[in-house]
Chain A
Amino acid sequence: MSIRQILITVCFLIPCVGCGTPTAVRNLSAVQSRTMESYQQSLKTYFNVVMKFADGQVAAANAIINSNVREMTDLQKEDALDNLGKAKTPEDRSAALNNYTKAILQFRSTAEGQLQSISENVNKLRAKQEEMISAYGELVRAQKALDEYIQMKKADEVILDDLAQLVGINQEKLTQSVTDIAQISQTIQTDIKSLQNQK
């Protein structure tokens, strides 16, 4: 047996032990990786838009609440002035002023609580979105690591490439041939089992 014949035999044997990653797998992995990265960007853009909308809603709500508080304060002031006008004793005047102060403080305190509640709720939305983006980032990172492994040339492929080069065989065709042989072998085995069962 010549060295060339030995090399050809080895070329056919090696893929049986450690076949190179099929092109379809490499292609799917690469496309999946790119798609996930692209989707990650879409998610970030989407969440940014949602947050801008939410921030706008918060700004509008804050403006309305503050405006309402100002109007309530003015109404309370009118009420206080009325009461002061009607007051007959210093005690009455003092009570009117106390009521006014108490009411104003109550309006402000309630409004502060409301603004705080709105801000906390929107922050929950922001935090959850960041959590989701971060989790998806982890998935993208994992896919990229897997893709890097899938795309890389493995040691057995290097051997196969070199041997195939020596005998002038295209490695992809060789891998395909081995796949075809494996499929034919599988079909034969199935047929044999089927025949045995018929007996």
Chain B
Amino acid sequence: MTIQELEQQLQDTLDKLDDAGIDDASRRKLKILILQLQNEILTESFNTLKDMDDVSVVDTSQINGLVAQVETEIANEKARTALVEKIIGLAKTGLRAAGVAL
């Protein structure tokens, strides 16, 4: 029997007591039991989220350091490119000064 089925049986019993016009301590205790069970079922329905602990998220710890290295390489390449552009510019000026038509 599932908890939901148990709750239903308790509720059916309570309904029978109500139909019979019985309103005594036993009925109240039964009603309290049903309400407690409902609260427990509600709480339990969120317990599946406990499995979240077993969900592993991809390890990205290495990425930070590697991205920093790539960023350094980008800066180096920019500096290298700027230097090459400067050298080419100078070479062109030199060639033009030497009378070479470019």
Chain A contacts to B: CB under 8 angstroms = 3, 57-58, 61, 64-65, 68-69, 71-72, 75-76, 78-79, 82, 107, 110-111, 114, 117-118, 121-122, 124-125, 127-128, 131-132, 135, 138-139, 141-142, 145-146, 148-149, 152-155, 158-159, 162, 166
Q: Is the CB of A155 within 8 A of B49?
A: no
Closest to B37 in A: A68
Closest to B28 in A: A75
Q: Is the CB of B49 within 8 A of A125?
A: yes
Q: Is the CB of B81 within 8 A of A155?
A: yes
| Main DSSP-derived SS at the A contact region | helix
CA distance A166 to B100 in the complex (A): 12
Q: Is the CB of A65 within 8 A of B39?
A: yes
Q: Is the CB of A122 within 8 A of B49?
A: yes
Q: Is the CB of A135 within 8 A of B58?
A: yes
Q: Is the CB of A138 within 8 A of B57?
A: no
Cβ distance A12 to chain B, nearest Cβ, rounded Å: 18
What are 29 A-B pairs with beta-carbon distances under 8 A? Answer: A3-B100, A68-B39, A72-B36, A75-B32, A114-B39, A114-B42, A118-B42, A121-B46, A121-B47, A121-B49, A128-B57, A131-B57, A138-B60, A139-B58, A141-B63, A142-B63, A142-B67, A142-B70, A145-B71, A145-B74, A149-B73, A152-B78, A152-B81, A155-B77, A155-B80, A155-B83, A158-B85, A162-B88, A162-B92
Q: Is the CB of A141 within 8 A of B67?
A: yes
Known: A79-B25, A117-B43, A152-B74. A159 touches B67 (CB 8 A): no
Contacts of B53 in A (CB 8 A): 124
Within 8 A of A (CB), among B2-28: 25, 28
Contacts of A152 in B (CB 8 A): 74, 77-78, 81
Chain B contacts to A: CB under 8 angstroms = 25, 28-29, 31-32, 35-36, 38-40, 42-43, 45-47, 49-50, 52-53, 55, 57-58, 60, 63-64, 66-67, 70-71, 73-74, 77-78, 80-81, 83-85, 88, 92, 100, 102
Cβ distance A73 to chain B, nearest Cβ, rounded Å: 10
Question: Given A58, A82, A138, which contacts B25 in the complex, CB threshold below 8 Å?
Answer: A82
Known: A3-B100, A135-B58. A154 touches B74 (CB 8 A): no
New A-B contacts (16) at CB < 8 Å, excluding given A107-B36, A138-B64, A162-B88: A57-B46, A58-B46, A61-B45, A61-B46, A65-B42, A69-B39, A72-B36, A118-B43, A121-B46, A121-B50, A124-B49, A138-B63, A141-B63, A142-B66, A153-B81, A166-B102
Closest to A7 in B: B102
Contacts of B60 in A (CB 8 A): 135, 138-139
Question: Given A61, A79, A154, A159, which contacts B77 in the complex, CB threshold below 8 Å?
Answer: A154
